[in-house]
């Protein structure tokens, strides 16, 4: 595993990560990119996204508060990234919830090569062409995990990319192999933007390695471990302090903390 | 009083709250909705607001950073909410400060049934057709309270809705009865978005009960109590820590904390 | 030095500061304006910016997430501010990085009288017509400081305004005299928006004095001192806590804390 090298490399290389994202969690995404050792740049006007992505090491597309103006910017930025072999990470926030989101995700995936898709089980299931409600369905954790593996593999093959599904258990698949990550804390779901931040972390790691499978594992595991550390520090205090502690934990993450806690099982499909 | 039941019910039902809001305080609004036990969704494009509001339990409209694109989305979302009997909460941020805000508030109130309006005395006074400067006018606290009661009643009757005015004393009126809430701390006015967050809390409670009078009291009292707890914890440290402590206090609010501190006087008009 | 008087005056006068800014750091800017004792208002629609700036004491323009809609609003607001002798503060975030940003900054500076420009060495160098990479160039701190003085003077004369360059050493010039500020902590560069917040502080002080040279020094020094205090309090914990501590330090800043720490050297050119 190259995890340790990559944790050091991101702080040495300080890659610039271009984010076209939503206005709810954009500040947290910028701070998490800084915390892991990369540099964020947010730019979404169609007149500048090509120039900005050209000086960046990765492009993160997040459709959390989509509007028609920005959809064109997203497509233009993605196409430029493809031309320049800059990795594209897609966070299909709320896919399945509206035609605008569904059509935008389909447009991006049909016109552009996406390198990593990171979402929850409901969002990724939509991309698989399956309707899965993650809420109120009485499934066991084991069922959910097996379902997530199948869906991650399916979507990874369909779009020839790496897929990361985050939930009780996190799954990363490149279509032929997959990994399970068992880090995390349930309080992460009570702070807005922890999913968006995870995608921004994945983007940060994609900025320093062409092994996007490893980069996705590393981004997701970093957030899971940070959630555990933050819970130990502030879980009882409340979600305001817990949120600060997530950024604290990422900004002070180092090899020994990561290796001591990481619960990553890689497996062949 | 059903306060206790509603505090439990919101965490059990986990209602989805659709917010069309400003980009200054949107993150705090999302986090406060999560903290009280509901789920936030922010969506403002005209192509998706009808679908999003249709799956939601309440719609919160906040005009804090209004722009022409979003005004049409607000109107469309409100009309759909009316059709589906989904409660609409309006936060007329800065009403009185510009024609754009004034006209937008008037358009919404003339075209749509609003269930709750939550603002400060200056904003609600504008809706009453009165010009009231809350700053630099040498009135006593008693005068301000009596004035707020009159204006809340007037606006509640004019628009057949519940009105919440927050200030030194908070007033909630449905036009025939009113309540005074004496919780709060003055440091709340030194953190941006505490008003917006209060409206988001009111919206969260409107998502689980059709008694919007009680829901508005509960949303406002929750913020007031959270301000008191946060002040005790972080008041001396500064407004950065105080802000985190507000969210902490809301995320850990329970029946005993609420009942121990709530200073709510209900009265007939 | 009038620093002490101005620190008191801002809390007494509570000036309204109009910000047309980016959606990444807008919440922090609002909170920092409140923390220092002023009041923020964010408004960017072309239909209301003239009214809003007319009731404000300063206008802060920040191009961090520029889009074509807002550029026209910026120009209109600036022109109104000029008519009314309201100070205009420009933060040319990312100038040099895209044609959209470069052209917008040039349009503003050619059509409008700007009173203060606050940026980093790379951004201000672009305005000087020089290409300076602040990253990866092996210059000594002494070289950088001398370079910054020259560039600040040049740009201040070119646009007849005050220029503040923030970096390892901060330089403020009005074209005939300059000051060096040696406060700060390197962790400030690992939290997003500390530059934007500094510009918002400068704008806050410009709202209470016509001596924009002093106002710029005071805004920059306040952030530097806050960074030092925050580092002592939360530096080891991580950048999430450090960020809260910055706001804490500004909200509790007083004359004795300021004077005890301020490292300001004024000099004639």
pLDDT at C4: 75
Name the domain count of chain A: 1
- Tokens 């604290």, located at residue: A248
pLDDT at C217: 97
CB neighbour list of residue B35: distance below 8 Å, 6 or more residues apart:
A190, A238, A239, A240, B247, B250, B251
Query: What does the alpha-carbon distance between residue B243 and residue B255 come to, in Å, rounded to a whole number?
Result: 22
Of residues A23, A68, A99, nearest to B51 (C-beta)? A99
Tokens of C156: 């201040």
Instruction: State yes or no: pLDDT of A178 exceeds 60.
Output: yes
Q: Where are the beta strands (DSSP E) in chain B?
A: 16-20, 39-42, 58-62, 88-91, 116-120, 162-166, 170-173, 177-181, 264-268
A239 to B245: CB separation less than 8 angstroms, yes or no: no
In three-state secondary structure terms, A59 is strand
Tokens of B209: 């009960």
Indicate the pLDDT class of residue C203, thresholds 50, 70 and 90. Answer: very high
Query: What does the alpha-carbon distance between residue B123 and residue A40 come to, in Å, rounded to a whole number?
Result: 38
Averaged pLDDT for residues C74-102 = 97
Is the four-CA dihedral C92, C96, C100, C104 of positive or negative sign?
positive
pLDDT at C145: 80
Indicate the pLDDT class of residue B71, thresholds 50, 70 and 90. Answer: very high
Averaged pLDDT for residues C191-218 = 98
The model's pTM: 0.96
**pLDDT, tens only, B10-39:** 999 999 999 999 999 999 999 999 999 999
Indicate the pLDDT class of residue C2, thresholds 50, 70 and 90. Answer: low
Q: Which residues of A touch B48 (CB under 8 A)?
A: 66, 98-101
Let me know: does A82 contact A88? Beta carbons within 8 Å: yes
Chain B within 8 Å of A195 (Cβ-Cβ)?
Answer: no
Report the phi/psi class of residue B193: left, alpha or beta, with left for phi > 0 and alpha for psi in -120 to 50: left
Averaged pLDDT for residues B203-211 = 98
Instruction: State yes or no: pLDDT of A131 exceeds 70.
Output: no
pLDDT at C24: 97
Query: What does the alpha-carbon distance between residue B251 and residue A258 come to, in Å, rounded to a whole number?
Result: 29
Parallel, antiparallel, or unpaired for β C177-181 and C170-173?
A: antiparallel
Instruction: State yes or no: pLDDT of C134 exceeds 90.
Output: no
Chain C contact probe: residue of A54, A67, A248, A249 with most C CBs at under 10 A: A248
A31 to C101: CB separation less than 8 angstroms, yes or no: no
Q: How many alpha carbons fall within 13 Å on the CB side of residue A163?
A: 30
What is residue A190's DSSP assignment?
Answer: G
The CB density around residue A268, as the number of other CB atoms within 10 Å, is 6
Of residues B31, B42, B43, nearest to A191 (C-beta)? B31
Q: Which residues of B touch A192 (CB under 8 A)?
A: 27, 30-31, 34, 40
First to last CA, chain A: 18
pLDDT at A2: 67
Q: How many CB pairs under 8 A join A and B?
A: 87
Tokens of C21: 């800014």
Chain C within 8 Å of A30 (Cβ-Cβ)?
Answer: yes
Instruction: State yes or no: pLDDT of B142 exceeds 80.
Output: no
Of residues A68, A98, A193, nearest to B52 (C-beta)? A98
Burial string for C172-183 (b: 16+ CB within 10 Å, else e) reads bbbbeebbbbeb
Averaged pLDDT for residues A20-47 = 98
Closest CA to B91 of B68, B69, B107, B114: B114
Min mean pLDDT across A195-209, B189-203, C130-144 is at C130-144
Tokens of B205: 């409670």
Output the domain CATH number for residue C191: 3.40.1190.20
Parallel, antiparallel, or unpaired for β C264-268 and C177-181?
A: antiparallel
Averaged pLDDT for residues C138-161 = 87
Indicate the pLDDT class of residue B267, thresholds 50, 70 and 90. Answer: confident
| Phi, psi values for residue C40, rounded to 5° | -95, 145
Averaged pLDDT of chain C: 94
Chain B contact probe: residue of A240, A245, A248 with most B CBs at under 10 A: A240
B48 to A98: CB separation less than 8 angstroms, yes or no: yes
**pLDDT, tens only, A33-46:** 999 999 999 999 99
Averaged pLDDT for residues B215-223 = 98
Q: How many CB pairs under 8 A join A and C?
A: 88
**pLDDT, tens only, A180-202:** 999 999 999 999 999 999 999 99
| Phi, psi values for residue B49, rounded to 5° | -65, -30
What is the four-CA torsion angle of C119, C121, C126, C130, rounded to 10 degrees?
160
Comparing alpha-carbon positions, the chain C residue that sits nearest to B244 is C244
Is the four-CA dihedral A148, A149, A155, A160 of positive or negative sign?
positive
Indicate the pLDDT class of residue A262, thresholds 50, 70 and 90. Answer: very high
Burial string for C196-217 (b: 16+ CB within 10 Å, else e) reads bbbbbbbbbbbbbbebbbbbbb
Let me know: does C3 contact C220? Beta carbons within 8 Å: no
Query: What does the alpha-carbon distance between residue B240 and residue B223 come to, in Å, rounded to a whole number?
Result: 17
Chain A within 8 Å of B246 (Cβ-Cβ)?
Answer: yes
% of residues, chain A, pLDDT over 70 = 95
pLDDT at A136: 43
pLDDT at A70: 97
Chain A within 8 Å of C123 (Cβ-Cβ)?
Answer: no
pLDDT at C143: 76
Query: What does the alpha-carbon distance between residue B111 and residue C226 come to, in Å, rounded to a whole number?
Result: 49
Comparing alpha-carbon positions, the chain A residue that sits nearest to B251 is A238
- The enclosing H or E element of A41 equals strand A39-42
Let me know: does A25 contact A196? Beta carbons within 8 Å: yes
Indicate the pLDDT class of residue A135, thresholds 50, 70 and 90. Answer: very low
Comparing alpha-carbon positions, the chain A residue that sits nearest to B30 is A192
> Vertex B30, ends B26 and B36: CA angle to 5°?
140
Instruction: State yes or no: pLDDT of B138 exceeds 70.
Output: no
Query: What does the alpha-carbon distance between residue C104 and residue C174 come to, in Å, rounded to a whole number?
Result: 23
CB neighbour list of residue A129: distance below 8 Å, 6 or more residues apart:
none
**pLDDT, tens only, A76-127:** 999 999 999 999 999 999 999 999 999 999 999 999 999 999 999 999 999 9
SS3 readout for chain C: CCHHHHHHHHHHHCCEEEEECCCCCHHHHHHHHHHHCCEEEECCCCCCHHHHHHCCCEEEEECCCCCHHHHHHHHHHHHHHHHCCCCEEEECCCCCCCHHHHHHHHHHHHHCCCCEEEEEHHHHHHHCCCCCCCCCCCCCHHHHHHHHHHHHHHHHHHHCCEEEEECCCEEEECCCEEEEECCCCHHHHHCCCHHHHHHHHHHHHHCCCCCHHHHHHHHHHHHHHHHHHHHHHHCCCCHHHHHHHHHHHHHCCCHHHHHHHCCEEEEEC
In Å, how far are A162, A173, A179 from A265, measured between CA atoms? 16, 12, 5
pLDDT at B139: 56
pLDDT at B134: 45
B24 to C35: CB separation less than 8 angstroms, yes or no: no
% of residues, chain C, pLDDT over 90 = 89
Instruction: State yes or no: pLDDT of C117 exceeds 60.
Output: yes
Comparing alpha-carbon positions, the chain C residue that sits nearest to B25 is C27
% of residues, chain A, pLDDT over 90 = 89
Chain C within 8 Å of B98 (Cβ-Cβ)?
Answer: yes
% of residues, chain B, pLDDT over 90 = 89
Averaged pLDDT for residues C179-199 = 97
Comparing alpha-carbon positions, the chain B residue that sits nearest to C70 is B67
Instruction: State yes or no: pLDDT of B213 exceeds 90.
Output: yes
In Å, how far are B75, B208, B213, C73 from B89, measured between CA atoms? 13, 14, 12, 29
Query: What does the alpha-carbon distance between residue C177 and residue C216 come to, in Å, rounded to a whole number?
Result: 13
Instruction: State yes or no: pLDDT of B136 exceeds 70.
Output: no
Tokens of C252: 């509790």
Q: Where are the beta strands (DSSP E) in B46-107?
A: 58-62, 88-91
Q: Which residues of A touch B52 (CB under 8 A)?
A: 97-98
Chain A contact probe: residue of B10, B53, B248 with most A CBs at under 10 A: B248
What is the four-CA torsion angle of A69, A72, A76, A81, rounded to 10 degrees?
80
Indicate the pLDDT class of residue A240, thresholds 50, 70 and 90. Answer: very high
Averaged pLDDT for residues B122-131 = 90
Parallel, antiparallel, or unpaired for β A177-181 and A264-268?
A: antiparallel
Let me know: does A190 contact B34? Beta carbons within 8 Å: yes
The CB density around residue C111, as the number of other CB atoms within 10 Å, is 11
In total, chain C counts a number of residues equal to 269
Indicate the pLDDT class of residue A229, thresholds 50, 70 and 90. Answer: very high
Closest CA to C43 of C61, C24, C65: C61
Indicate the pLDDT class of residue B131, thresholds 50, 70 and 90. Answer: low
pLDDT at B168: 86
Averaged pLDDT for residues C94-118 = 97
Q: List the subunits that have 3+ CB pairs under 8 angstroms with A.
A: B, C
Closest chain B C-alpha to A196 CA, distance in angstroms? 13
B252 to A240: CB separation less than 8 angstroms, yes or no: no
Q: Which residues of C touch B68 (CB under 8 A)?
A: 45, 47
A30 to C66: CB separation less than 8 angstroms, yes or no: no
pLDDT at C137: 42
Q: Which domain holds residue C17?
A: 3-268
Summarize chain A as % helix, strand, coil (round to 5): 55, 15, 30
B31 to A244: CB separation less than 8 angstroms, yes or no: no
Tokens of B216: 């508005």
Query: What does the alpha-carbon distance between residue A194 and residue A119 come to, in Å, rounded to a whole number?
Result: 11
Query: What does the alpha-carbon distance between residue A171 and residue A182 come to, in Å, rounded to a whole number?
Result: 9
Averaged pLDDT of chain B: 94
In Å, how far are A92, C63, C96, C103 from C106, measured between CA atoms? 37, 12, 11, 5
In angstroms, how far is CA B205 from the centroid of its own chain?
A: 10
Indicate the pLDDT class of residue B128, thresholds 50, 70 and 90. Answer: very high
pLDDT at A4: 75
- The enclosing H or E element of A207 equals none
C34 to B239: CB separation less than 8 angstroms, yes or no: yes
Instruction: State yes or no: pLDDT of B137 exceeds 50.
Output: no
Q: Which residues of C touch B24 (CB under 8 A)?
A: 26-27, 30, 42
pLDDT at C132: 58
Indicate the pLDDT class of residue C42, thresholds 50, 70 and 90. Answer: very high
Let me know: does A51 contact A45? Beta carbons within 8 Å: no
Indicate the pLDDT class of residue C135, thresholds 50, 70 and 90. Answer: very low
């Amino acid at each position: 595993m190259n995890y340790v090298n990559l944790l050091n490399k991101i702080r040495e290389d300080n890659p610039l990560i271009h984010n076209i994202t939503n206005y709810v969690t954009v500040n947290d995404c910028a701070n998490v990119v800084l915390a892991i050792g990369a540099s964020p740049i947010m730019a979404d006007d169609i007149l500048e996204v090509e120039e900005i992505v050209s000086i960046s090491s990765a492009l993160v597309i997040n459709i959390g508060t989509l509007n028609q103006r920005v959809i064109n910017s997203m497509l233009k930025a993605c196409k430029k990234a493809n031309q320049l072999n800059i990795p594209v990470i897609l966070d299909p926030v709320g896919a399945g919830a509206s035609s605008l989101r569904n059509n935008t995700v389909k447009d991006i995936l049909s016109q552009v090569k996406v390198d990593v898709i990171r979402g929850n089980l409901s969002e990724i299931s939509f991309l698989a062409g399956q309707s899965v409600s993650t809420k109120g369905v009485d499934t066991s954790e084991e069922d959910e995990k097996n379902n997530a593996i199948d869906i991650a593999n399916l979507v990874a093959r369909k779009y020839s990319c790496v897929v990361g599904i985050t939930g009780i258990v996190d799954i990363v698949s490149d279509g032929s192999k997959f990994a399970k990550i068992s880090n995390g804390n349930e309080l992460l779901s009570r702070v807005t933007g922890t999913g968006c931040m995870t995608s921004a972390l994945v983007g940060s790691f994609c900025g320093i390695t062409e092994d996007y499978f490893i980069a996705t594992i590393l981004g997701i595991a970093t957030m899971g471990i940070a959630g555990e550390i933050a819970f130990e520090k502030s879980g009882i205090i409340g979600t305001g302090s817990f949120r600060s502690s997530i950024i604290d934990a990422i900004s002070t993450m180092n090899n020994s903390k990561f290796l001591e806690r990481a619960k990553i099982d890689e497996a062949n499909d």
